[in-house]
Amino acid sequence: MQKTVTLWSFLALFFCAAFFPIAWMFGSSLYEGGSFSFVYYHDIFLTGKYAGIILRSLILASVATVFATLMGVPAGFFLAKTDFFLKNFFKVCFFIPLIIPSYTIGIAWTNILGKAGFLNQFLSHYFFLSPQSIYAFIYSIYGAAFILSMNLFPLIMIMTEYALKNIPSPLEESGLVCGTFFQVMKGVTFPLISPVIFSGMMIAFVFSLSEFGVPSLLQLNVLTTQIFTQFSAFYNEKAATALAFPLIIITIVIFLLEQFKTRSKSFEILGRSGSQVFMKYHFAWLRVSGLVFCTVLFLITIILPFCSLLISVEAFKVYRDAFALAKNGIVNSVVFGGIGASILTVVGFFLGYATEKTRWKLKEGISSFVWIFFAVPATVAGIGLIKLWNRPHGAFQFIYGTIGIILIGYIIRFAPLSSRIMANFFRQMPQSIEDAGAVTGASWFRIAGNILAPLQKHGIVATWIISFIFCIGELGATILVYPPGHETLPITLFTVMANSPENIVSALTLLLIGMTLLPVGIFFLISKYVFSQKITP
């Protein structure tokens, strides 16, 4: 009873926080002048007025996905299948672009390929390219796709590497007995991991489609930025809502397709134990290729952007100025991020448990329902929150005018992720561990507090850290709903980009990156020092 009430309470909380705003927003967009109307949807779908914007969004997402796949699959392959100099170093470094906000990479690359950027000057001098065309590239759809792919390739890399490591070696060895390396790759290895790659591509596509930061930075007219413009510049919230509709439909369809694909193919190789032996190749040419590929990737995705930001800061004094400018934003980011991550961890713990460890018949449906919200674009979530909570006469001012509205935004956007992470940790825990507590007559709260939580401490810490990283980098929803005096660092950065010197922007970007990477570093130290003290399952 305790368990059922607790879990349903958290599901209800998520439902209220996430589903209501979105449903309310769409519901109200269907009313015009006091009656039912499709006028805004008619504009979008039947006049062709927005066809170009939808097409640009799809091109951006498709090209970013292709770029990310071209970077991620080979990187994952080399990291999984061969050994080469600095492999582990590359493996750790390639996580960085994934965890820092995508627009920080965008800021760096607009420096690099901007009119005064060093790579722009180098390419125009030695490769006879026009500086204007290089500049135009980075501010184009393809430039945005290139930047987004740097943010997303680690996702595909990790999935590819994990999938390759879970192919039992006899499957490839039996192929090598009668075929060449390339025949085995083509006939055995890649067909086996293709569902995983497909899944990674789908996730990358959805992320690119719903991305707001990079297109906004590059002033591209795509769906997410158009929604923001309609809402904040033209105050046409119904048009903004209607524009969100195709975005939501596309993302939901793709997420469901990905879910269906991964379930029907069942990620067969991903489901196996990671402890089994997997095949590695020790050809010299493969090692050299791995080293060269990873070095180039490292240069493009990490060294160049970071050096560019560091160089453009010029002097230490700039950090002081930037810090003074963004002090409030930094404090708010840390405080809101900390509170948000803590709430998300608690919500994730119970939702993860509900979707993984219960025997509810609706469990699968609930899991998919929760996961779909991860695909809801940030700007859509923001508008939904405003529509629901910004009531006449300030009825909900205690939420709308406070940190509460930002925290609800975090729940909409990241509770699906935190619950998925916790669910994965719960999956590894045998049911008997909990049953052993239950047969002693312990209440479910006692079992949760004394058995589940201590055993899931890795999961809880990992969920908190990941939630914190996402919360402090969140821009799309927060920028729409933050009350005065509650701006976060990304908002400060977004605001000063237009009217501050490049060195201040770079310094702020580095501060944000530092704030993102710091908890990850602390987590690694904690896991190395504290968690190794006791053996855990």
Partner 1 sequence: MKSLQVKQLVKIFDKKEIVRGISFDVENGHLLTLLGPSGCGKTTTLRIIAGIEIPDCGEIYIDEKLASRDKKICISQKERNIGMVFQDLALWPHMTVYENIEFGLKTNGIRRDERRKKIEEVLQSINMQKYARAYPQTLSGGQKQLVAIARSIITRPRLLLMDEPLSNIDVKLRQDIRREIKRIQQETNITTLYVTHDQEDAFFLSDRIAVMNEGKVEQIGSPEEIYFSPESLFVAQFVGESNCIEVNIAGINRIVTPWGELSHPTDNHTKGTAKIFFRPHQVKIDQSGCCKGKLVKRDFMGEWYRYHVSSSGVEIVLYDENSYNVGKHVKFSIKEMKLVSF
Q: Which is nearer to partner 1, 439 or 498 (CB)?
A: 439
Contacts of 278 (CB under 8 A, 6+ apart): 80, 164, 165, 166, 167, 168, 169
Q: How far apart are the first and last CA of the chain?
A: 28
Tokens of 476: 């799309």
Cβ proximity of 452 and 521 under 8 Å: no
Query: Residues 35, 273, 432, 499: which binds partner 1 (CB under 8 A)?
Result: 432
435 binds partner 1, rule: CB under 8 A: yes
- Rule CB under 8 A: which of 455-474 touch partner 1? 455, 457
Piece in contact with partner 1 (CB under 8 A), picked from 87-95, 162-170, 247-255, 442-450: 442-450
Piece in contact with partner 1 (CB under 8 A), picked from 137-145, 219-227, 336-344, 433-441: 433-441
**Rounded distance, CA 127 to CA 437, Å?**
69
Query: Residues 130, 194, 402, 443: which binds partner 1 (CB under 8 A)?
Result: 443
Q: Which is nearer to partner 1, 449 or 514 (CB)?
A: 449
Cβ proximity of 146 and 67 under 8 Å: yes
* Smallest distance from partner 1 to CB 357, Å: 13
* Smallest distance from partner 1 to CB 361, Å: 10
Piece in contact with partner 1 (CB under 8 A), picked from 67-75, 242-250, 406-414, 425-433: 425-433
Tokens of 331: 């404090």
| Per-residue contact string for residues 375-414; x = within reach of partner 1 by CB under 8 A | ----------------------------------------
263 exposure class (CB count in 10 Å sphere: 0-12, 13-18, 19+): exposed
| Per-residue contact string for residues 475-514; x = within reach of partner 1 by CB under 8 A | ----------------------------------------
Residues touching partner 1, count (CB under 8 A): 22
Q: Which is nearer to partner 1, 119 or 461 (CB)?
A: 461
What one-letter code names the amino acid at 218?
L
442 binds partner 1, rule: CB under 8 A: yes
451 binds partner 1, rule: CB under 8 A: yes
* Smallest distance from partner 1 to CB 534, Å: 6
Q: DSSP character for 17?
A: I
* Smallest distance from partner 1 to CB 533, Å: 11
The secondary element (H helix, E strand) that includes residue 31 is strand 31-32
3-state secondary structure 67-118: HHHHHHHHHHHHHHHCCCCCHHHHHHHCCHHHHCCHHHHHHHHHHHHCCCCH
Query: Residues 33, 34, 274, 430: which binds partner 1 (CB under 8 A)?
Result: 430
* Smallest distance from partner 1 to CB 259, Å: 21
Piece in contact with partner 1 (CB under 8 A), picked from 192-200, 260-268, 388-396, 438-446: 438-446
**How many other C-beta atoms lie within 10 A of the C-beta of residue 401?**
16
Question: What 3-state DSSP class applies to 42?
Answer: helix
438 binds partner 1, rule: CB under 8 A: yes
133 binds partner 1, rule: CB under 8 A: no
Q: DSSP character for 236?
A: -
Contacts of 507 (CB under 8 A, 6+ apart): 313, 318, 319, 321, 322, 323
| b/e burial code for range 339-373 (CB count within 10 A of at least 16 → b) | bbbebbbbbbbbbbbbbbbeeeeeeeebbbbbbbb
Q: Which is nearer to partner 1, 133 or 443 (CB)?
A: 443
Cβ proximity of 363 and 7 under 8 Å: no
**Rounded distance, CA 72 to CA 255, Å?**
20
Query: Residues 274, 441, 484, 485: which binds partner 1 (CB under 8 A)?
Result: 441
Tokens of 292: 């060269």
275 binds partner 1, rule: CB under 8 A: no
**Rounded distance, CA 166 to CA 229, Å?**
46
210 exposure class (CB count in 10 Å sphere: 0-12, 13-18, 19+): buried
Query: Residues 132, 450, 501, 522: which binds partner 1 (CB under 8 A)?
Result: 450
Question: What 3-state DSSP class applies to 36?
Answer: strand
Query: Residues 362, 436, 522, 530: which binds partner 1 (CB under 8 A)?
Result: 436
Cβ proximity of 113 and 33 under 8 Å: no
Tokens of 356: 């993984």
**Rounded distance, CA 363 to CA 356, Å?**
8
Query: Residues 5, 177, 233, 439: which binds partner 1 (CB under 8 A)?
Result: 439
Query: Residues 352, 384, 416, 437: which binds partner 1 (CB under 8 A)?
Result: 437
- Rule CB under 8 A: which of 508-537 touch partner 1? 534-537
Piece in contact with partner 1 (CB under 8 A), picked from 25-33, 200-208, 407-415, 448-456: 448-456
Tokens of 500: 């501050």
282 binds partner 1, rule: CB under 8 A: no
* Smallest distance from partner 1 to CB 439, Å: 4
Q: DSSP character for 168?
A: B
Place of tokens 């160049």: 304
Cβ proximity of 47 and 410 under 8 Å: no
Q: Which is nearer to partner 1, 257 or 433 (CB)?
A: 433
Piece in contact with partner 1 (CB under 8 A), picked from 15-23, 217-225, 309-317, 427-435: 427-435
* Smallest distance from partner 1 to CB 535, Å: 4
* Smallest distance from partner 1 to CB 454, Å: 5
* Smallest distance from partner 1 to CB 97, Å: 35
Task: State the residues that interact with partner 1 by CB under 8 A.
Answer: 430, 432-433, 435-443, 446, 450-451, 454-455, 457, 534-537
